[in-house]
Structure 1
Amino acid sequence: MVFEMPVFSLSAELAAETIKPDATYRCKIIPSEDEIDMLLARFDYIAVNDLVAELQIRKVARDCWDIQGRLTADVVQSCVVTGEPLAESVDFTLEERYVRLIDDTTSVEVDLDGVEPLKNGFIDLGEMVMQSLALAVTAWPRATGAAEYTEPEPVKSDHPFAGLAAMKQPTNKN
């Protein structure tokens, strides 16, 4: 018997307790058009096309869930030097661990680097996908042939602080 994988949007939050031990929950995350617009604004992208995350979620221990999967997308960003649109395809492996934080000040403090806390008992799948996309794309995209650095523009003498700058200049009293 073949089961269809449920499809969620980026607003998806999964109640952690619905994942039973020794079971794997599978789902897809595909953003709506409004969520794509939100991604463009949030990360200053020009376009995001064909974004899909396929996830497998397992409860691996008491109060601990692992997510593994794959994120694919086509993203268009601006070159940091020229502003030229640059297209990039990403195929990114997702691996994340979520834990339920216990608010017990008498217990031993454990370093939780590399894990995410549940949010009111929920795994925020959409936020995980958005952050993973931001990590998967080139951080500072640069067009082929773009200058390694740009010369700063000369300071104009009519800028708003020109009067203050003139006051700071040393005066010659000859």
Structure 2
Amino acid sequence: MNGTPEFSRPYRIDTIGEEPRGVHIEADAAERAALATRFGLVSIDSLSADATIRRDGTRIRAEGKLSGRAVQSCVATGDPIKARVDEHFSLRFDPEGEAADEELELDAGDLDVLPYEGGAIDLGEAVAQGFSLALDPFPRVADADQRLHAAGVIAEEEAERLRAETSPFAALKGLTKG
């Protein structure tokens, strides 16, 4: 992506101390509309985060919770589906190039490591990306399968069964059972 991110909330490194500092960020209507376009969503109704940030040498740690509401499109029918995200996050921002210099072994509960360049981190962009990743990548309305079947679209399992029954080998198999 070129230019400034849609939901940019930079924090200069020299203003972040070693003691945790609470911050609240919230996307306005224009930012949410731009993010919805980037992420291929119908809309984003809300997006915010409450976090504590603190400096640890040249690294910045951010922990908190992101919350948001969006409307996605069903991958099968195109119908709108409401989605809600309430996720805790734990991030570490490392100076560009520093994170690649050391080997990290991350467990599922470990923090995500993001690079930053210059003298600031962008908590808004990190929250926006976290929000996008927390959404269901393949949202489906509850009755999608029934509606697709009624429209003549068959399920993959049914297609496999039909292919097996109508293959030339199935016909040969029937001849040998005589």
Q: What's the TM-score once normalised by structure 2's chain length?
A: 0.69
Is 1:98–2:93 an aligned residue pair? Answer: yes
Q: 1:90 to 1:102 in 2, by over 3 A?
A: closer
Look up the equivalent residue of 1:110 and give its one-letter code: E
How many Å separate the matches in 1 of 2:82 and 2:96?
40
Is 1:130–2:134 an aligned residue pair? Answer: no
How many Å separate the matches in 2 of 1:81 and 1:101?
40
How many Å separate the matches in 1 of 2:141 and 2:97?
48
Look up the equivalent residue of 2:75 and give its one-letter code: V
How many Å separate the matches in 2 of 1:90 and 1:43?
15
Q: Which residue of 1 aligns with 2:30?
A: 34
| Mapping 1:56-95, distance limit 5 Å | 56-59=52-55, 61-95=56-90
Paired residue secondary structure (2:132): helix
Paired residue secondary structure (1:130): helix
Q: Which has the higher helix share?
A: 2
Runs of 5+ consecutive residues of structure 1 not aligned to the other structure: 1-8, 152-174
Q: Which residue of 2 aligns with 1:160?
A: none
Look up the equivalent residue of 1:130 and give its one-letter code: A
CA RMSD of aligned residues (A): 2.4
Paired residue secondary structure (2:60): strand
Q: Which residue of 2 aligns with 1:6?
A: none
How many Å separate the matches in 2 of 1:119 and 1:71?
23
Look up the equivalent residue of 1:16 and give its one-letter code: I
Look up the equivalent residue of 2:119 and give its one-letter code: G
How many Å separate the matches in 1 of 2:16 and 2:91?
15
Q: Which residue of 2 aligns with 1:142?
A: 140
* Deviation sequence 1:10-36 (CA, Å, 0-9, x none): 221111221112x11211111122111
How many Å separate the matches in 2 of 1:102 and 1:144?
45
Instruction: Give the C-alpha shift of residue 135 in structure 1.
Output: 1.4
Identical aligned pairs, as a percentage?
A: 30
Paired residue secondary structure (1:99): strand
* Deviation sequence 1:75-98 (CA, Å, 0-9, x none): 110000000100012111121101
The total of aligned residue pairs comes to 138
* Deviation sequence 1:41-90 (CA, Å, 0-9, x none): 1011112113211111012x321111111111111100000001000121
